[in-house]
């Protein structure tokens, strides 16, 4: 014979707030996660280069070894980002959408400096709940010179000839600070020699 009787459930004792906070970290739920990665950009007189690793990870877990951190926005401008992958995807999609709207309205691509200001405005608009991204925008300006724009979390930015961001940013920055002045001087000299040779060839053609 099977009999069923209603028995009162055991009451759960409420956990003190201090214990809950200690379990979930200070302040409770944390919406951010750092998926790691490092991006580096170097600009010269007539070129700009951006590189980044392709690993997507959380802590000691590697989700992918073939995930690019760089998105091309126009034929002369790209963005490289590390940090939280969800925020990176959202930010890059927003930028590509704004570029597409600009193309439809003006039938031309926005310049690198214009995109640098656009990115600053987007980051600042999210200042109360910032994108967890470390961004470098690299482009060729209207004169064909390379430019690298580095940003903080809320959109403040500066233009430089080289920059690094991400989990390995401090290590790479130290190397760049030590080596880049010599490399930049060498590349600038090569660029000047190239221009002089082109001008000499033009003069020779005119004389002929």
% of the chain with per-residue pLDDT over 90: 60
The pLDDT > 70 percentage for the chain reads: 82
Higher pLDDT, 97 or 207: 97
- Confidence class for position 25, pLDDT limits 50, 70, 90: low
Q: Of residues 205 and 169, which shows the higher confidence score?
A: 169
- Where along the chain do its domains lie? 37-207
Does residue 157 register a pLDDT over 80? yes
Q: Which of 174-196 are b and which e, b meaning 16 or more Cβ less than 10 Å from the residue's Cβ? A: eebeeebeeebeebeeeeeeeee
Mean pLDDT of the chain: 84
Q: How confident is the model at residue 21 (pLDDT cuts 50, 70, 90)?
A: very low
Residue 29 has pLDDT above 70, yes or no: yes
Helix (H) or strand (E) holding 107: none
Span 83-96, mean pLDDT? 96
pLDDT at residue 202 is higher than 90? no
Q: Is the pLDDT of residue 19 over 90?
A: no
End-to-end CA distance of the chain: 116
Catalytic residues: 38
Tell which CATH classification among 3.20.20.220, 3.60.20.10, 3.40.50.10330, 1.25.40.10 matches the domain 37-207. Answer: 3.60.20.10
């Amino acid at each position: 014979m099977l009999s069923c009787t209603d028995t009162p459930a055991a009451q759960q004792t409420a956990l003190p707030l201090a214990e809950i906070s200690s379990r979930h970290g200070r302040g409770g739920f944390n919406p951010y996660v750092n998926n790691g990665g490092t991006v580096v950009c170097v600009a010269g007189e007539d070129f700009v280069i951006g590189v980044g690793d392709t690993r997507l990870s959380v802590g000691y877990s590697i989700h992918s070894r073939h995930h690019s951190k760089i998105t091309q926005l126009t034929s002369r401008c790209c963005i490289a980002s590390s940090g939280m992958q969800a925020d990176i995807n959202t930010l890059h999609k927003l930028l590509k959408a704004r570029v597409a709207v600009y193309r439809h309205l003006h039938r031309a691509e926005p310049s690198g400096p214009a995109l640098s200001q656009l990115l600053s405005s987007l980051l600042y608009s999210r200042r109360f709940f910032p994108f967890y991204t470390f961004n470098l925008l690299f482009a060729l300006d209207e004169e064909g010179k390379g430019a690298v724009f580095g940003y903080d979390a809320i959109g403040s930015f500066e233009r430089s000839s080289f920059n690094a961001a991400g989990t390995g940013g401090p290590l790479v920055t130290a190397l760049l600070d030590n080596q880049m002045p010599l490399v930049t001087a060498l590349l600038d000299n090569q660029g000047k020699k190239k221009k002089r040779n082109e001008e000499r060839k033009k003069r020779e053609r005119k004389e002929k």
